[in-house]
Amino acid sequence: MSLIRGRFDKEADQRVAEYSASISFDWRLYRQDIAGSIAHAKMLARQGIISDGEARTIIEGLTAIREEIEQGKFQFKTELEDIHMNIEARLIEKVGDVGGKLHTARSRNDQIALDMRLFVKEAISTTLSQIGEFQRALLDVAETNQDVVMPGYTHLQPAQPVLLAHHLLAYFEMFRRDAERFHHCRQRTDVMPLGSGALAGVTYNIDREFLARELGFSQLSRNSLDAVSDRDFVGEYEAAASLCMMHLSRLSEEVILWSSAEFDFIELDAAYATGSSIMPQKKNPDVAELVRGKTGRVYGRLMALLTLMKGLPLAYNRDLQEDKEGLFDTIDTLLSSLDVFTGMIRTLRVKSDHMRRAADRGYVLATDLADYLVRKGAAFRTAHGIIGRLVSYSLGKGKSFSELSITEYKKFSPLFEDDVYKITVESSLSARNVAGGTAPQQVARALAVARKSLGEAESGR
Ligand code: ARG
């Protein structure tokens, strides 16, 4: 007979038991659940609610159960619904009636809130260190290719030359913000809900501060109804994960484009590429494509949680059980994506000559030519028009700017002089010597700042 069906005259219908059971996925909370129970048992003994001997028996039982689970010897039972009942029932089976004292001054409602918070806190730590690893890889690639020039794009049309390192540092910034979001999410997750009971608090003289200390929380929940029904922290993790996946997905898109024959800017290491079952020549960027694809799945998990929560009255409702698979899948997807992406970035080969050649095409110096005329006295709008006509003329002649003669230049404006040939990709880069710009000097500084921030982030993790 189930431990909690005293008021019923029969067992749950088999289909109901299967439909409502969560053990097939919430078994993953076993470490958090046991840690919470051990702290709770210690607290009950300290407060004289159970005896020291009883607490010892309970804690030994729980420790043995953790061992059983880790060795794959534990038999999870669907009819016991969830991880909490599976562990409690096994505890009573092992240590006898005293095991039944563990649930004094507690409810599964504050228990699951605790487990989820512990789980998310751990996930955040792992996420932060993996984001750090990924940023380190970006930085390493940027530093080894510090002189590599490529066309920067807007609308996917060649726009102005940039350093590859500058481009990679753009991603570094995105992941810095992602890390910040996870840090902030941790502050709000770091709240200890035990003592809330089912919804209204508990009738025993418990010590919540002790529980918080034992379990490594910096704050106590301030309202029992809120504590058992709040899953904001799950949503925040999923929202931060969604943005982080969005950033990975954008970079995936660039990896895919850049490894195409048309761009040919990079070559993926053979270990990070896949073949085709029919076309022997193919070297496909499947990892990047899967990251891009899985991003949609992570967004879906966030939408599911938001929708799940929006109509729930206070306090606990069983709907809340639906938070778990989405969270677990989000964590698994984000962590594995970061992990494989880090390896892919570290091993890809940069085809610097191809990037450079692309930067020499496409009239990416057009803005610099306009700025040149401005420095010689033209209004920017006038200069823009002149260079526009110059581009059109050059396209017609099939010439690049550097292939135009000074006489050709002068046909468009008397302001052009011999020094126009000093406008090069290099001059274009160094001219953008503004904080946050692509001038080599600025990028070198940005690389150093980024490197330093990684070290600091590591100590804050
Ligand atoms: N499996 C439940 C969940 O994940 C645990 C809490 C159950 N509480 C309850 N009153 N049925 O939400």
Q: Which superfamily is assigned to 14-104 in CATH?
A: Fumarase/aspartase (N-terminal domain) (1.10.275.10)
For residue 324, the ligand 1 atom closest to its alpha carbon is 4
Catalytic status, residue 400: no
109-143+163-351 and 359-460 share one fold: no
Task: Check if 258 has its Cβ closer than 6 Å to any atom of ligand 1.
Answer: no
Minimum CA distance residue for ligand 1 atom 7: 108
pLDDT interval class at 241 (50, 70, 90): very high
Residue 461 has pLDDT above 70, yes or no: no
The H or E element containing residue 74 is none
DSSP label of 66: H
Domain segments of the chain: what residues?
A: 14-104, 109-143+163-351, 359-460
> Other C-beta atoms within 10 Å of 41: how many?
24
Closest alpha carbon to 141 in 283, 265, 286, 240: 265
CA distances from 198 to 22, 50, 117, 142, 154 (A): 19, 20, 17, 53, 55
pLDDT interval class at 3 (50, 70, 90): confident
Is the CB of residue 69 less than 8 Å from the CB of residue 23? no
How many CA atoms lie within 13 Å of 161's alpha carbon, on the beta-carbon side?
27
Q: Given the residues 125, 276, 402, 427, select the one marked as catalytic.
A: 276
pLDDT digits (tens, 9 = 90+) for 61-116: 999 999 999 999 999 999 999 999 999 999 999 999 999 999 999 999 999 999 99
Q: Which superfamily is assigned to 109-143+163-351 in CATH?
A: Fumarase/aspartase (Central domain) (1.20.200.10)
CATH of 359-460, one of 3.30.565.10, 1.10.10.10, 1.10.40.30, 3.40.50.300: 1.10.40.30
pLDDT digits (tens, 9 = 90+) for 159-201: 999 999 999 999 999 999 999 999 999 999 999 999 999 999 9
pLDDT, averaged across the chain: 96
Two tokens, residue 246: 């969005």
> What does the alpha-carbon distance between residue 90 and residue 226 come to, in Å, rounded to a whole number?
30
Give the pLDDT score at 281. Answer: 87
Is the CB of residue 326 less than 8 Å from the CB of residue 301? yes
Ligand 1 center to residue 86 CA distance, Å?
12
CA distances from 208 to 38, 46, 134, 193 (A): 14, 12, 38, 9
